[in-house]
Chain A
Amino acid sequence: MSLKAFKRALWVYHLNTGSCNGCDIEILAVLTPRYDAERFGIKLVGSPRHADVLLVTGPVVRQMVTRVERIYQQTPDPKLVMVVGNCGAEGDVFHESYNLAGPIDQIIPVDVYVPGCPPRPEAIIHGVAMAWVKLEKLAKQEVV
Chain B
Amino acid sequence: MTFILESGYAFWNPLIWIIVFIVIMIVVYFFRRRGQKGYKKDTDQTQIFLCGEEVPEAGERHIRVGNIYWGFFETLKEYYEQILRPHTGIINDYILWFVAITAISVIVLLVAGLG
Contact = CB atoms under 8 A, between A and B. Distances in A.
Contact of B36 (A48, A64, A73, A76): A76
Nearest to A73: B44
B88 interface: no
Contacts, number: 37
**Chain B interface SS verdict (over half):** loop
Interface in B27-64: 36, 38-40, 43-45, 47, 49, 51-54
B115 to A, nearest CB: 74
Interface string A57-86: 000000010111011011111100000000
Contacts of A78: 38
A21 interface: no
Given A70-B54, A73-B43, A73-B44, A47 B49 contact: yes
A47 B49 CA distance: 7
A49 interface: yes
A76 B52 contact: no
Contacts of A48: 49
B45 A73 contact: yes
A74 B44 contact: yes
Nearest to B43: A73
Interface in B49-108: 49, 51-54
Contacts of B49: 47-49, 71, 74
Contacts of A70: 44, 52-54
Interface string A25-63: 000000000000000000000011110000000000000
Contacts of B51: 67
Nearest to A69: B52
B52 A68 contact: yes
Interface of B: 36, 38-40, 43-45, 47, 49, 51-54
Interface of A: 15, 47-50, 64, 66-68, 70-71, 73-78
Given A15-B52, A68-B52, A78-B38, 8 more contacts: A47-B49, A50-B36, A64-B52, A66-B52, A66-B54, A73-B43, A76-B39, A77-B40
20 contacts: A15-B52, A47-B49, A48-B49, A64-B52, A67-B51, A67-B53, A68-B52, A70-B44, A70-B52, A70-B54, A73-B44, A73-B45, A74-B44, A74-B49, A75-B45, A76-B38, A76-B39, A76-B40, A76-B45, A77-B45
